[in-house]
């Protein structure tokens, strides 16, 4: 299943971000700590690297993520040039309070009245960017909500006389290359419900949990996971919760929604959908698939050309 979602306002947001980047000193990219690379917008990387801007990657929602995976992601990002990772949660004011100092450490030539530090805050929809903005400024300046793409316009605000913040709408990118990324984003509620089939997303989540966190499924729903697949997980949720439709069949739709909500709200436990190692393996599989498709296409093109040549020769 390939999920794509790029509402019209995101095109405008991309153009505005590109225009502003020249006048920005630092990018704060807010990522979902449960899926840091899947929630990392390649457009952000492209824009900031073109202008050679440092980046503070905020790994938000660590209260929902596997702490071991989060530690691995911090090491992964800290090893990159011009990047510092900061695992945190906007639920803790002390975590938020550290951000200005971390930002100044990445742009030490700024942060004085004559040269205020200009920061652009970027991230995908529903990752907590607006909540972070409000927490930094200690007032409600950005709309927040448990739906993707709440913020639709850019705004410029002063954290203090030495720090300027530019808030941008949540942006995805025009084409999500790996199907697994789209499914992880959908499971984590970063994609509008009009672009997905919830039951298929829940089946993917169930498969992933069977591999990485089967014990959490057992603890939450009380069933044994041996021999299960994603469909069986949802049916198990329906059975344990008594979700049935008229006639006695499982209410598959309600059970799928419940599984997704339990993951999103942390009711299943602290879960990370990817690690640096699993990400590398996914990329390798994707590259192999792309290469195989290219090989098949080349063979078909060659066969078609040979057939055309034989026709011209009359053989």
Q: Which CATH architecture has domain 11-167?
A: 3-Layer(aba) Sandwich (3.40)
Residue 44 labelled as part of a binding site: no
163-167 and 117-123 strand pairing = parallel
Distance, first Cα to last Cα, the chain: 44
Helix axes of 42-50 and 8-21: crossing angle, nearest 10 degrees: 20
Same fold, 11-167 and 197-265: no
Q: What is the pLDDT of residues 3-21, one digit of tens each?
A: 555 555 556 666 777 777 8
Residue 24 labelled as part of a binding site: no
Mean pLDDT, the chain, as a whole number?
87
Residue 266 labelled as part of a binding site: no
CA 205, distance to chain mean position in Å, is 14
**Residue percentage of the chain with pLDDT more than 70:** 89
List Cα–Cα distances, 285 to 4, 135, 144, 229, 289, in angstroms.
20, 40, 37, 21, 6
Q: How far apart are CA 104 and CA 94, in angstroms?
A: 17
Angle at Cα 68 formed by Cα 64 and Cα 71, nearest 5°? 95
Residue 229 labelled as part of a binding site: no
Residue 4, number of CB atoms within 10 A of its CB: 13
Q: What is the pLDDT of residues 182-194, one digit of tens each?
A: 999 999 998 877 6
Read off the pTM: 0.84
pLDDT of residue 314: 64
C-alpha R_g of the chain: 23
Q: What is the pLDDT of residues 293-310, one digit of tens each?
A: 999 999 999 988 888 887
Residue 49 labelled as part of a binding site: no
Average pLDDT over residues 147-174: 72
Residue 127 labelled as part of a binding site: yes
Residue 197 labelled as part of a binding site: no
| Residue 221 pLDDT level (bands cut at 50, 70, 90) | very high
Q: How far apart are CA 181 and CA 40, in angstroms?
A: 10
Q: Which CATH architecture has domain 197-265?
A: Orthogonal Bundle (1.10)
Q: What is the pLDDT of residues 256-294, one digit of tens each?
A: 999 999 999 999 999 999 999 999 999 999 899 989 999
Residue 167 labelled as part of a binding site: no
Residue 131 labelled as part of a binding site: yes
Q: How far apart are CA 9 and CA 15, in angstroms?
A: 10
Residue 314 labelled as part of a binding site: no
Residue ranges covered by each domain of the chain: 11-167, 197-265
pLDDT of residue 148: 44
Residue 63 labelled as part of a binding site: yes
């Amino acid at each position: 299943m390939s999920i794509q979602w790029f509402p019209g306002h995101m095109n405008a947001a991309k153009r505005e971000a590109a225009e502003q980047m020249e006048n920005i000193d630092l990018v704060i990219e807010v990522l979902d700590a449960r899926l840091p690379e899947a929630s990392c917008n390649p457009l952000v990387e492209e824009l900031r690297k073109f202008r050679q801007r440092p980046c503070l990657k905020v790994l938000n929602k660590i209260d929902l993520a596997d702490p071991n995976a989060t530690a691995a992601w911090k090491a992964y990002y800290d090893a990159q040039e011009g990047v510092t990772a900061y695992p945190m949660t906007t639920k803790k004011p002390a975590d938020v309070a550290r951000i200005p100092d971390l930002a100044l450490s990445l742009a030490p030539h700024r942060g004085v009245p004559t040269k205020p530090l200009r920061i652009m805050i970027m991230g995908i929809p529903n990752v907590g960017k607006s909540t972070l903005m409000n927490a930094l400024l200690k007032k409600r300046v950005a709309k927040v909500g448990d739906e993707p793409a709440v913020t639709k316009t850019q705004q410029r605000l002063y954290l203090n006389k030495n720090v300027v913040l530019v808030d941008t709408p949540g942006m995805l990118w025009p084409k999500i290359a790996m199907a697994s990324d789209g499914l992880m984003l959908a499971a984590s509620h970063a994609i509008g419900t009009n672009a997905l089939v919830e039951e298929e997303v829940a089946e993917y989540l169930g498969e992933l949990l069977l591999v990485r966190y089967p014990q959490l499924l057992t603890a939450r729903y009380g069933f044994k996971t041996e021999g299960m697949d994603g469909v069986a997980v949802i049916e198990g949720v329906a059975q344990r919760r008594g979700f049935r439709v008229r006639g006695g069949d499982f209410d598959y739709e309600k059970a799928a929604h419940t599984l997704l909500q339990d993951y999103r709200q942390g009711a299943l436990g602290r879960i990370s959908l990817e690690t640096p190692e699993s990400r590398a393996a996914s990329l390798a599989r994707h590259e192999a698939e792309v290469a195989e498709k290219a090989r098949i296409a080349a063979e078909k093109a060659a066969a078609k050309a040979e057939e055309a040549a034989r026709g011209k020769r009359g053989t």
